[in-house]
Amino acid sequence: MQTNSNVKVMTESNNKIRIGILGASGYTGGELLRLLAGHDDMTVAMLSAERRAGRSLAEVFPHLAAMQAPDLISIDAFDYAALDAVFCCLPHGTTQEAIAGLPTHLKIVDLSADFRLGDPDLYAEWYGHEHRAVELQGEAVYGLTELKRDAVAAARLVANPGCYPTGPQLALAPILETGRIEAEDIIIDAKSGVSGAGREPRQGMLFSEVGEGVHAYGVAKHRHLPEIEQGLSEAAGAPVSISFTPHLIPMNRGILSTIYVRLAAGATLEDVRAILAERYADEPFVHLVAEGISPATRDVRGSNHCLIGVFADRLKGRIILLTALDNLVKGASGQALQNMNLMCGLPETSGLEQLSLFP
C-alpha cells in the first residue's frame, strides 16, 4: 500500500498513541470511535472508508459530530509512518492481504474473522477460499482477553474474537479445563441483535424482514462454529464438537447465549459456580451473577461487560449456563480496545469504564 505524507494527522499530544481505523464507516468502526472519544491515551489520527472517502465523520456518524477526528480517506492515502497502531474493521476475506501489506512497526487488532482460526485449511473449508496470509497466521494471537491476556500483551497482531464465540468460551473454558462437565454434550442456543450483520443494506436485514419475528440461520453451519470449537478444544485438551444454532432477534444490540451441558461424574452445580467465581473474581468485565439471576442483554447494553449465570436443569446431571453481552462492545469493538490497551502497555480498562445503559 502506498503512503501519502500529505495526509493530515489529528494529534492532541505527542505522548498519545496514534490510532488508525481501516473500515471506519461500519458499526464496529463507529463503536470504536465512540469508545476512543473517552480514551485519555489514544488519539484518532486516520480513518478509512472507501465508498465514503472525503466525507466528514459527522456526515457518516451524526452521533459522533462533537468528536474531533479527521475526515475519512481511502486506505491508499494512509501515512502509516505517522501511526502507532491500527484497528482493522474490514469485511471478512479482505483483511489478510490488507494486513500483510502493513508496516511491521504497527500494532494491529483485526476485527474480522480472517486470523481467528489457527489452521489455514480449516479457514479455507469454512470461508470458501484459501488463506491469503499464511505466514502471518502463526504470528496472530487469538484475543479472548480474559483467557489470553499474557499472549495478547506481547502480540503485534491480535485476531479479535467473534461476537457469538465470546460468551460461550468465557463460560465454558474454565469448567472444561477442570473437567467438571462432559465435553461431548454441549448445546449452544444463541440469539443476536441485527447489528451483528453489519451496516451494509441487505434485503434480509430490512425492518419488514426481521421485525416482529425470530428466526434461526446458519443452522449447523455458521462460521463461528469452528471458532468456538477451537477454543473449547484447547480448554478441554481434546477435540470438542458442539451443537450451535444462532437466531436473529429484532433488536439493535446484544447476544444472549443459552448453553446446555452435562455434569461430569461427581460434579455439582456448586462446583461450577465456584470455578467461575474464582476465575472471574478480579476481572473488570466478566461477572458471575448472583444465584437465581438470569443475565439479560438489557443489563449489558453499551458496555464491555459479559454476565454469566448458572442454573440447574430439571434433567438430572445437567446444568444451564447463560451469557449476555453487547455484540458491538464486548463482542467486537470493546474487546478490541481492551486488547489494544494491553498491547500498548496501558490499563486494560482505559476507555471502557462505561456502565450499561438502562433501560
* Helix 225-236 with 163-178: angle, nearest 10 deg: 20
For CA atoms 127, 93, 227, 104, the dihedral sign is positive
- The C-alpha torsion from 129 through 132 and 137 to 143, rounded to 10°, is -70
Rounded distance, CA 139 to CA 181, Å? 32
For CA atoms 187, 192, 197, 203, the dihedral sign is positive
Q: Indicate if 306 belongs to the active site.
A: no
Rounded distance, CA 186 to CA 2, Å? 48
Residue with cell 467465581: 277
Rounded distance, CA 100 to CA 105, Å? 12
Choosing from 88, 89, 163, 306, the catalytic residue is 163
Q: Which amino acid is at 93?
A: G
Query: SS3 of 83, please?
Result: coil
Instruction: Let me know: does 54 contact 40? Beta carbons within 8 Å.
Output: no
Active site residues per annotation: 163
